[in-house]
Structure 1
Amino acid sequence: MNPSRRNRVHIRRNLDLVTDRNPHEVPAEHLGLEPSVPQAIHQAFVDLYRTGLHPGIQLCIRRRGDILFDRAIGYAAGVASDDPLQGALREMRRDTPVCLFSSSKAVTAMLVHKCAEDGLVDLDALVTDTIPEYGQCGKHTTTVKHLLAHQAGIPRIPMKRPDPSLLWDWDRAVATLCAAKPIHGSGEQQAYHAITAGFILGEIVQRVSGLSLNDYLARHIAEPMGMHNFHYGLPAARHAEVARNAFTGGPLPAPLRPIARRVLGVDFDRVPPISNSPEFMNAVIPAGNLYATAEEASRFFEMLRAGGRYQGKQIFAPETIARAVTPVGRIRLDRTLLMPVRFSMGMILGEKPFGLYGPDCRGAYGHLGFMNIVCWADPAREISAALLTTGKTLAPSALYRLMQLMATIGGSIPRQSPDAPHLARAA
């Protein structure tokens, strides 16, 4: 990390030396696109890396099920100023596991939807039907749907000074949230639940299925889809493979600090070192520590885009996907994020004229992870994609280049029709 450049990574002159490309990318013209599309996306991808604010980046884009773009750039470890491994450079590869942070929520939500598909839980039922002790302090009217849609009234860990160790103590986390007093009645407001709802949703999955969350994930998604990573946390023997996260850029401007603390529970710059700790990587944090590669995350969203089908296997029923990506209501001012957001039961939805997933992305769905990770499907463009980054920053240049990359993807891959459905026809 170069201190003279405000906590940024030194960029090598020859980026080919730190770029890993999938040799099996399908030519754009075979996928109904202009031949220049991959190069345009690559240039925007490189421009994001050249900000020096992301030590490592992965991007995978599928079009109609085939891989259009699958590349990694930079370093997975050894460049951040606070990295104990500083100087021991390890390149970011396409198979390097990366923490998805809040993009994990989309996967956890789909596990709950799988439980509903199999008749193990009713999404309109009370949480107390499965977790009786959750009904304390007025939460007896909260439904599973309220948790999935960020309307359950428990957006923050109920501690004046949240202790990160709570994240790796499952039973303590669940008990703390069961005893919590909601900030509003269930369904009355929308306030993004950064960490909290994930533990209760994960507990529901475990109680109704009789399996641990990772075992349920493996049985229904990771194993049938051939995922090597795709796991909440990773075994200690694999910690050395993980891409390490880094706080980059200057300190947050004063107006953003309380917002970041409200969302994350701790100061923004504390999160990267916490996420690099063995305790974090060993833990199961349903809303925040699923590990995957960009290709695996794209594969997951491609399965959703294809109506729940992957390589001849029906992972989810098409009706389950349709329910999971249907808006729960109009776009609303989120009381945590202080910006308008439209949610489904588990997904952040795209908007017009510009949304999280680029220009004119109404009908797209997916999730954001710690500001600079985006995983999504856009059925109208027939794509599924994942952008994974390790720089944790709100520096304007990083956000601008990220938006430019998203705009390039959306602008170079046209919508097939203005009213394209949420789902592609299952293969």
Structure 2
Amino acid sequence: MSLTLPGTRRIAIEEDPADLVRIDRKAERAPHEAGLSAADVEAIGNAMIRDLFATRIHPAVTFCLRRHGAIVLNRSIGYARGLTPERPLASDARLAQPDTPVCLFSASKAVVALLTHKLAEEGGIDLDAPVSRYLPAFSGEGKSRTTISQVLSHQGGFPHFTADDYGPEMLADWEACVARICAMPAEAGGRHLAYHSFTGGFILGEVIRRVTGAPLTDYLDTTLRKPLGMRYFTYGLDGRSRSRAAENHVAGQPVRWPVSRWARRALSVPFEEVVAVSNRDFFMDAVIPAGNLYATAEELSRFYQMLLDGGVYRGQRLFEPATLARVVKPASSQIIDRTLKVPMRYTEGLMLGMNPIGMYGPMCGSAYGHLGFMNILGWADPARGISAALMTTGKAILGGHLVTLLRSLGVLNHRCRRADR
């Protein structure tokens, strides 16, 4: 039975997909160094790259997989620019490369969360203290006792922007976003689990800015970006890098009511507007803590490998073990998220896997990471010794590509067997 509805937007490719694959041969290690066979790596690569591209939803897919610290796959397929669903390939189309930067959207939340935990480790904040201790305007209207911990775990009580005149351009106005969040009513923190799409990130970023006395990007640079040796891995993109970034496109089945209403509430702006603004200069000029960090798949995998290695990168300790123990500790039971309308488990900043199946595939209960606006994933799975990142540029809520993604993650998890099996 076909899962494709009339009006579904898909890319058209006349070329052999094999000709569109690009491999970072300098980075990839021999499979046996990661405890895998050549057949394992081929099967994972076909599932996570070629099969996802074959859905014709994503103009570009990039994927990086580390196992036991060794990169076994760092590859791309498709076009970063010039390939749009339902349009012919542009004459100046540019192939995606393994080092193509992609907007992480909500996968950015993991980064601002780790920065918040680092500030607590340094003694700058107490995660169990009210936000209002560091941001006095964040008080009243149900928020006076809301803690930083509750904001991190999506229990802050202010998941959405509520003003009717809110638009995507406001995301570029940091001060206005913070002021609006501080002024709007909220339920008492900790009462309900409801995903905070953009709001929580601005409050965490503002706390970091107030305590450190410097922009969030400065704290990101000194805490993560420079120690990890990242080229990108920052909020927005400078002018020199923008031509290299992958464009995002609306794809897949039409988003109609009631799904459109749910998406509008979850994202704070209409679905198609989120995609459109992500390709504009004002979006790349902005610092949106929960939504516009740019990175390559390898950089995001590197970040999760550092967490998997206990907060150490190339002999340098970036996080204390006690800090990471708190980062990955469940902050909520598996319950229905009032925003996403699906069962979720969160830590103070990360999304946890679930058994028998979760967002990182089957039997992924030990995994932690974060999902980004549509089918962007960064995660680590200690039971399998993997850190991985999947970047996709086709933005679709429903469709058969979700079945393909689930099947592909199943192949990955089966081939990278758990240590207890």
**TM-score, normalising length: structure 2:** 0.95
Alignment partner, residue 178 of structure 1: 182
Match of 1:68 among 57, 67, 72: 72
CA contact (8 A) 2:234 2:295 kept: yes
Q: Is the 8 A contact 2:12 2:85 kept in 1?
A: no
Please, which of 202, 205, 213 is the counterpart of residue 202 of structure 1? Answer: 205
Between the aligned residues of both structures, percent identity stands at: 44
Are residue 312 (structure 1) and residue 315 (structure 2) matched?
yes
CA offset at residue 138 of structure 1?
2.2
Distance 2:82 2:91 in 1: 5
Match of 1:395 in 2: 398
Q: Which residue of 2 aligns with 1:422?
A: none
Aligned-partner Cα distance in 1 for 2:44–2:364: 17
Q: Pairwise CA RMSD of aligned residues?
A: 1.7
Specify the alignment match of 2:3 in structure 1: none
Q: Distance in 2 between matches of 1:30 and 1:397?
A: 35
Q: Distance in 2 between matches of 1:266 and 1:254?
A: 15
The aligned residue for residue 235 of structure 2 is 232
Indicate which of 401, 407, 410 corresponds to 1:407. 410
Letter in 2 for 1:353: P
After superposition, residues 23-422 of structure 1 pair within 5 angstroms as 23=25, 24-44=27-47, 45-80=49-84, 86-182=90-186, 184-417=187-420
The residue that corresponds to 2:13 in the other structure is 11
Q: Is the 8 Å Cα contact of residues 102 and 295 (structure 2) preserved in structure 1?
A: yes
Q: In the alignment, is the contact (CA less than 8 A) between 2:10 and 2:86 conserved in 1?
A: no
Determine helix, strand or coil for the equivalent of 2:66: strand
- TM-score, normalization by structure 1: 0.94
SS in 1 for 2:100: coil
CA displacement at 1:161 relative to structure 2:
4.3
Q: Secondary structure at the match of 2:364?
A: coil
8 Å CA contact 2:278–2:284 kept in 1: the answer is yes
Note the alpha carbon deviations across 1:58-77, whole angstroms, 9 max, x for none: 10000011101110110011
Asked whether the equivalents of residues 107 and 378 of structure 2 are also in contact (C-alpha less than 8 Å), the reply is: yes
SS of the residue corresponding to residue 68 of structure 1 reads strand
Matched residue type, 1:147: V
Tell me which residue corresponds to 1:421: none
1: CA distance, partners of 2:332 / 2:338: 15
CA contact (8 A) 2:236 2:286 kept: yes
Alpha-carbon deviation of 1:174? 0.4
Quick one: distance in 2 between partners of 1:237 and 1:371? 26
Q: 1:5: how far off?
A: 7.8
Distance 1:174 1:253 in 2: 31
Residues 90 and 410 of structure 1: is their aligned pair in 2 closer, same or farther, counting only changes over 3 Å? Answer: same
Residues 109 and 289, structure 2, Cα contact 8 Å, conserved in 1: yes
* Partners of 2:140 and 2:285 in 1: CA distance: 30
d(CA) in 2 for partners of 1:350, 1:61: 17
State the shift of 1:30 in Å: 2.4
Whichever residue aligns with residue 261 of structure 2, its letter is P
| Residues 76, 96 of structure 1: 8 Å contact kept | yes
Cα separation, 2, equivalents of 1:174 and 1:82: 39
Runs of 4+ in 1 over 4 A off after TM superposition: none
Greater mean alpha carbon deviation, residues 331-340 or residues 108-117: 331-340
**Counterpart residue type for residue 414 of structure 1:** R
Contact (CA 8 Å) 2:57, 2:85: kept in 1 or not?
no
Which is further off, 160-169 or 142-151?
A: 160-169
Number of residues paired by the alignment? 414
- Unmatched runs of 5 consecutive residues or more in structure 2: 1-5
Q: Secondary structure at the match of 1:254?
A: coil
- The alpha-carbon deviation at position 215 of structure 1 amounts to 0.8
Opposite residue 273 of structure 1, the aligned amino acid is: A
Relative to structure 2, which stretch is displaced further, 265-274 or 212-221? 265-274
Distance 2:91 2:127 in 1: 49
| Code of the aligned partner of 2:315 | G
Inter-partner Cα distance in structure 1 for 2:244 and 2:126: 39
* Counterpart amino acid of residue 411 in structure 2: T
**SS of equivalent residue, structure 2 residue 208:** helix
Q: How far off its partner does 1:154 sit? A: 0.7
Q: 1:253: Cα distance to partner?
A: 4.1
Deviations 1:262-312 (A, max 9, x none): 111122122111110100011000000000000000000000011000111
Deviations 1:92-119 (A, max 9, x none): 1111110000000000100000000000
Whether the aligned pair in 2 keeps the contact of 1:174 and 1:199 (CA below 8 Å) is yes
**Is the 1:11–1:50 Cα contact (8 Å) retained in structure 2?**
no
SS at 1:138's partner residue?
A: coil
Which runs of no fewer than 5 residues in structure 1 stay unpaired? 419-427
| Cα deviations by residue, 1:24-76 (Å, 9 ceiling, x for unpaired) | 31222222223311111122120110111000011000001110111011001
- Verify the 8 A CA contact 2:65 2:387 in the aligned structure 1: yes
Confirm or deny: 8 A CA contact 2:7 2:253 kept in the other structure. Answer: no
Match of 2:24 in 1: 22
Give 1:81 shift. Answer: 5.6
